Each structure stands twice: as C-alpha cells, then as structure tokens.
Amino acid sequence: MWEERAERARREIAALATDGLDLSALYAAALALVRQSVPFDQACWAGVDPDTMVMNSVTNWRPWPVTDEYAVRFAQSEYQGNEPNTFAQLMGRPRPVARISDAPGPAVAGSIRINDLLRPLGLVHELRGAFRVDQSCWGVGSLFRNGAVDFSDREVEFLAAVTGALAAATRIATRAHHAVWDQHGGPIIVLAGDRGELRAATPAATTWLQALEDAVPGRFSMVLYAVVEQAKASRTGTARTRMRDLDAGWVVLQASRLLTGDDPGQMVVTVEPATTGQLLTLLLAAYGFTPREQEVCLELIAGSPDADISRHLFISPHTVHDHLKSIFDKVGVGSRGELVARLTATG
C-alpha cells in the first residue's frame, strides 16, 4: 500500500534529518528514497528562504543543463509570470503538490516553463511540491518524466504525504548549520542588468563569487536572478533574501533598482554577512516556535525579565512561564543562558 510506503519514507526522512547532513546531502538522500515509490527521470529540489520563497540551495538529480538564459527565464516565469502551479501558488493550497497535467489547458499552452524550458529537454510530465510545515515553506521541488507515462494519482498522493517531513527535515538542516559568515577583502557589490545578468563586480565580489562558483556551481546565479525579479515586481524596487555562503554560513542579498543613470533597469546587489538578528528570525522559525513564542524569545534574548515580558506582550506571568518551558523543550536547553548561547552562536 502506498500509505505504508509513505509512512516508511517519512520515518526515513526524519532519520536523515538527525544525521547532521547539509541540505544538499539531505535532499540527495531524500530524492533516492522518493524515487523508490515515485520513479522520475530528472529532479530539482531547492531550499528556500521562508520569508521570501527565493531558492537558496539547489540540488539536482542528474546534472541539469542550466545556462544563464535558462536561469533568467525560469526566474521570470516563477516570480513574475502567470505560470501554472508556481511554488507560491502551491504553498497556499490545501494540498501543496500538483502535476502539470491537471492544470487548465490554456495555462499549460501558455507556460514558458513547460514549453520553452522543459519540453526541449524531453521532459513532458511534471510533479511539483512545496515543502510546508507550520504554515511556512522551507523547500520546493519538481520531479520530471519523459515518455508517455504521467505521474499517477497514487504517486501524487505519496509526494503530498511526505512534503511535511521534507519541510521539517529542511528546517532542522537550517538550524544545524548557522555559522555567521566572516567577510574579508572589502565590500561585495555586483551590478546586475534588468534580467539579472551580472555586469560588473567589485574586486572582493569577484573573488567571493569565484570561490562560491567553484564550490557550488550556479547557486549565486539562481539566487541573483530570483531576487532581481522580486525587486522588479516590488513597489519599492527593493528585495532581499538570505542564502547559504561557503562554510555553512549565511549572507543577505539585497537588490535595489537604480533610479538614475542611462539604464534604469539595472540593479545594485549587495552581499553582506547575515547579522545575528537576521538569522534569529530564520532560526526561531526553524525551531518551530509559534509567533507568540518568537516574541517571548526575542524579549528573553534582549534580557527582559519575566515581569517585563508579561507587561510588554500583555500576557500573564503564568503564560510567560508556559511559553518559556515550550521554548526550552524545542531547543533542547534547560536555562535562559543555554538558550541565548544556542541561538546567538557565531561558530
């Protein structure tokens, strides 16, 4: 029965999450598990920033022939276009998975992703999912097939049944590797064109980009295209997202439209080490804190005693105590000092 296979897969994915794997290794192992029940010819899974849904770590099953043109068009279709089954759409649905064959015919006929990007590679069947837990999306993924056999209803149900486990495992991988990046060599600033293509970079950016490209080819390009597309769609002309750097660190990319100059479509993109505060919001979500628990935790990290937390958040001292107990349990610590040390560690 597919339900038994899905339950076994959920347990195995949960076990993977406790092995301390980085996200790429976790997804590679999880894809191998899923493929036993849902065969596919090609796959692409990505971790995402839960605040922006910008992809920040990509794992492919088999090498993926991604050119700059491909990445540009994918970012445009995913973040600005009127595509069927975007990951943002799936995130908002009761069941966060969908196959392209179930989308309306006119939408498929007009899809850039399907007609211009996938079919030229011989990929005619697509099954997508958003990895959601506690109403936050931590990862997304697509499975593809060539040939005549589409994904079955049971296979769709199987993927839907494991997306929660995948999200929880992604969240654990996120909080297991949160060392803050140490910037060297000056400011990292790049100039991107209207489509997200790299036009110029500071010397420090050139060095940093080369090291990142050598270690993880294509990661920065995919994030750059995505954040530029979001900035173009933003009313303020600005967008930011967090992404992995080398050595398990985190950086923040901010894209801002140039309002003057010969090419108003250009974007300035800065890359800075993520601050403790910027990582805290990610980590608190990664530990599964409720919105109220996040507020209590931030008060605690700021040094507020119980009485001040109660007054600031308009809750009773007893409720503060209950929230603190839940927070300690989720992080696996026994005191305020241990909690602060765990969440603000920089190494």
Percent of the chain with pLDDT over 90: 49
Are 46 and 55 in contact, with CB atoms under 8 Å apart?
Answer: yes
Query: pLDDT tens digit string along 285-315?
Result: 888 899 999 999 988 887 888 998 998 999 9
pLDDT at 184: 54
Query: pLDDT tens digit string along 217-247?
Result: 888 888 999 998 888 888 888 899 998 887 7
The secondary structure of 88-154 as a DSSP string is HHHHTSSS-EEEGGGS-HHHHHT-HIIIIIIGGGT--EEEEEEEEETTEEEEEEEEEE-SS-PPPHH
Residue 20 has pLDDT above 90, yes or no: no
Query: pLDDT tens digit string along 114-125?
Result: 999 999 999 999
pLDDT at 181: 47
pLDDT at 183: 53
Query: pLDDT tens digit string along 332-343?
Result: 999 988 998 888
Longest dimension (CA), the chain: 65
Question: At residue 251, what are phi and psi to the nearest 5 degrees?
Answer: -130, 160
Query: pLDDT tens digit string along 21-76?
Result: 888 999 999 999 999 999 999 999 999 999 889 888 889 999 887 788 888 899 98
| Bridge partner residues of 141 (DSSP) | 45, 129
Domain annotation for the chain: domains and CATH numbers:
2-176 (3.30.450.40), 188-277 (3.30.450.20), 289-343 (1.10.10.10)
Residue 152 has pLDDT above 90, yes or no: yes
Are 24 and 209 in contact, with CB atoms under 8 Å apart?
Answer: no
Half-sphere exposure of 166 (CA within 13 A, CB side): 33
Select from 329, 298, 323, 288 the least CA-distant residue to 136. Answer: 288
Select from 4, 171, 163 the least CA-distant residue to 93. Answer: 163
Close Cβ partners of 250 (under 8 Å, ≥ 6 residues apart): 178, 179, 180, 181, 242, 243, 244, 273, 274, 278, 279, 282
pTM of the model: 0.74
